[in-house]
Structure 1
Amino acid sequence: MVEVTKEIVAITKASKIIRSESVQTLWSGYGEIRRYFLEGGKYTSVIVKHIQLPDAKHHPKGWNTPLSHQRKLKSYQVERQWYQEYADKTDAYCRVPQSYHAVEAENELLLIMEDLDASGYPFRLHHNEVTLDHAKSCLSWLAHFHAKFMNTNAKGLWEVGTYWHLETRPDEWERMENISLKNAASLIDEKLQNAQYQTIIHGDAKLANFCFAEDGTVAAVDFQYVGQGCGMKDVAYFISSCFEEEKCEKYEEELLQYYFSQLKNALDNTIDFPEVKKEWSEHYRYSWADFYRFLDGWSPGHWKMHEYSKKLTQIVLKELKVK
């Protein structure tokens, strides 16, 4: 069994741990994220993600199959790999927590990380609070992140980033109610996977995974589903997490133009930006349709299955000539 406090003190050189508080429990009872307050040593506080694999799996949506368990196990291994091999390649424009230490035991994984609250990113937003400027700050983060890893081989990460990737979600696909979309699922997936311009995507770039500073700049957390992909998967998913259908429609052009302006500024000049924009602009609606496909099988009636996402999905189905 991993001795959490012993590991924290050893890594941080703290004289003692003053107290700790729960940040959140992990999905499906796989452990907890806690903040530890320290005295002496290098840091005043650290975040500890303690993954403990349960004997009995319970899932809030009823998904407790061996496949979902294996997917979750891999996600934690991917996150460890991300922090060990990739996180230090980011910069101030796509800020992530620093990783201090990782410990793995038989059925446990401990990640000791920088506390972004203490580093000046203490604010979290609910989608009812988010403004256009907030959304643009996050899209700027995504643009710089995608530019930083454009054409990078995502070795050790997910071969196809995102938690809703079709190949890892056969149970949800089986339960789909939208038959046309079900029939088109593999074609949509193929379209996105065959994008000429691939990068490393966050894979779970929802509003809740962004931490805001007083000046509006952001950092991002939770890299369990980071991997190879078209950047539009992150963009579409992020916008879906911020706005209801009316605002998705209203702000679509402004948000996409802003993202692409940031991407253009961040990309290496060896990359043909007009070609990236041309391809990814088309892949935006395919990314929406891909996520809509997942929701249809996972949680029919979800609030994100609104007319805007339905409209983009219908455009995709028409383009693919699927009835």
Structure 2
Amino acid sequence: MGPTAAVLDWKTVLQPHYLQPILSVQAKKLQSLWAGYGAVNALKVQLEGAPGVQLIAKSVHPQRASGISHERKVASYRCEADFYKQHAPGLIEATGLGVPRPVVVESTPNGWEFILTDLSVEFPDSYGCLDDQQVRAALDWLAAYHAYFWERPAVPAGLQEQGSYWYLDTRRDEFAQIGRSWSDLKAVADKIDARLKTSNNEFMTCIHGDMKSENLLFSSDGRRCAAYDFQYTGRSYGVRDIAYLFASSVDSSDLESKADDYLDHYHGALAARLAEVKGQAAATEAMARYAPAVMRRHFDLALLDYVRFMAGWGLWGSGCDWATRRAKALLGRGVEQLLRG
């Protein structure tokens, strides 16, 4: 069992962040964190002479444990704290992206406390399996996020050296569970992993790392989305987020006919966002190098890498059938060209 978490005095914690006196704070538990590592609460803050404020409080109290799974979870919350403290304000200012604004982010003797703006005020809708408009909204969000971090010379402070929660170094237990039906993927998994974490900074960005519908909210018209849960954001190819989004949150029948079109949509949105961040000349040069064929090679590598994880952990997601069929087809053709590209 983990340490017993003290009941937080929300009013005392929040008052320094508001000019008006706080009359009351009502907390409602929304969910427990994975593996019993804490809880998420919705807060309603009533201010004197002002409208109420809606916030989200994520209280992280890791278990007393050891081993690679525990270490991965603790590192993920440390990453999330650094993301909100060091990067979220600048990201929101530069891009206007739907991302929670940090109100209070601090370490405690038992873990971390995150108090964030409630995205559901502006983005009230959520979905399991995403439709065409929602997929494109998510890809637009990713394009802006990836453009902001595009080809930075070093991993931004505090973020994961390798973005995503399924990268091979921390998933050797799942790797050992891969059965005979995926033996050809298992045989090339280390080479794919090495290719995805190349030291060459070209085309590298920071990915969200857990880009699934459960971590997305949408505007009422479905044209814009917001994302949360930044525990696994860090360095990788941007299309790694797309491979996971497709496999987890897009219907396989839609992907059969639209996957290539979705990749083209992302490529165009990335070009537009890079022009906003870096200027038109720099964006034109970057996208001349990052041609659609390059993007698709990286995407196929990322898809194979994610299917490797599922093959050992368990197959799931609305796009899982499509992802596994595509992975089998790629393996049937051989992956040598992908590894060189």
Structure 1 segment 36-55 matched on structure 2, within 5 A? 36-40=43-47, 44-55=53-64
Cα 1:14–1:87 shift into 2, 3 Å: same
Q: What residue in structure 1 maps to residue 300 of structure 2?
A: 285
Q: What residue in structure 2 maps to residue 207 of structure 1?
A: 213
Q: What residue in structure 2 maps to residue 186 of structure 1?
A: 190
Distance 1:78 1:84 in 2: 10
The 8 Å contact of residues 159 and 233 in structure 2, kept in 1 or not, is answered as yes
Distance 2:228 2:87 in 1: 14
Distance 1:279 1:321 in 2: 11
Distance 1:26 1:8 in 2: 22
Distance 1:280 1:249 in 2: 18
Structure 1 residue 102 and structure 2 residue 105: aligned?
Answer: yes
Distance 2:27 2:158 in 1: 32
The 8 Å contact of residues 136 and 255 in structure 1, kept in 2 or not, is answered as yes
Cα 1:121–1:300 shift into 2, 3 Å: closer
- Name the Cα RMSD after superposition: 2.2
Structure 1 segment 141-180 matched on structure 2, within 5 A? 141-152=141-152, 153-154=154-155, 155-177=157-179, 178-180=182-184
Cα 1:106–1:114 shift into 2, 3 Å: same
Q: What residue in structure 2 maps to residue 320 of structure 1?
A: 336
Q: What residue in structure 1 maps to residue 227 of structure 2?
A: 220
CA displacement, residues 229-266 of structure 1 (integer Å, 9 cap, x when unaligned): 00010111112222232221111121111111101111
Moved more, 206-215 or 17-26: 17-26
Cα 1:308–1:100 shift into 2, 3 Å: closer
Distance 1:260 1:46 in 2: 34
CA displacement, residues 81-138 of structure 1 (integer Å, 9 cap, x when unaligned): 00011112224553211101122122221011111122x11111111xx220111011
Moved more, 305-314 or 214-223: 305-314
- What TM-score comes out, normalization by structure 1 length? 0.89
Structure 1 residue 276 and structure 2 residue 290: aligned?
Answer: yes
Aligned sequence identity (%): 26
Cα 1:254–1:14 shift into 2, 3 Å: farther
Q: What are structure 1's unaligned runs of at least 5 residues? A: 58-64
The 8 Å contact of residues 163 and 204 in structure 1, kept in 2 or not, is answered as yes
Higher helix proportion (structure 1 or 2): 2
Moved more, 15-24 or 158-167: 15-24
Distance 1:189 1:170 in 2: 12
- What TM-score comes out, normalization by structure 2 length? 0.84
* Shift, 1:274, TM fit: 2.7
The 8 Å contact of residues 245 and 309 in structure 1, kept in 2 or not, is answered as no
Cα 1:26–1:301 shift into 2, 3 Å: closer
The 8 Å contact of residues 9 and 16 in structure 1, kept in 2 or not, is answered as no
Structure 1 residue 71 and structure 2 residue 72: aligned?
Answer: yes
Supply the AA of the counterpart residue of 2:216: F
Q: What are structure 2's unaligned runs of at least 5 residues? A: 1-5
Match of 1:258 among 262, 265, 275: 265
How many residue pairs are counted as aligned between the two chains?
311
Distance 1:199 1:100 in 2: 26
The 8 Å contact of residues 292 and 313 in structure 1, kept in 2 or not, is answered as no
Q: What residue in structure 2 maps to residue 137 of structure 1?
A: 137
Cα 1:203–1:4 shift into 2, 3 Å: farther
CA displacement, residues 151-189 of structure 1 (integer Å, 9 cap, x when unaligned): 123231110100001111111111111222112111111
Moved more, 184-193 or 12-21: 12-21
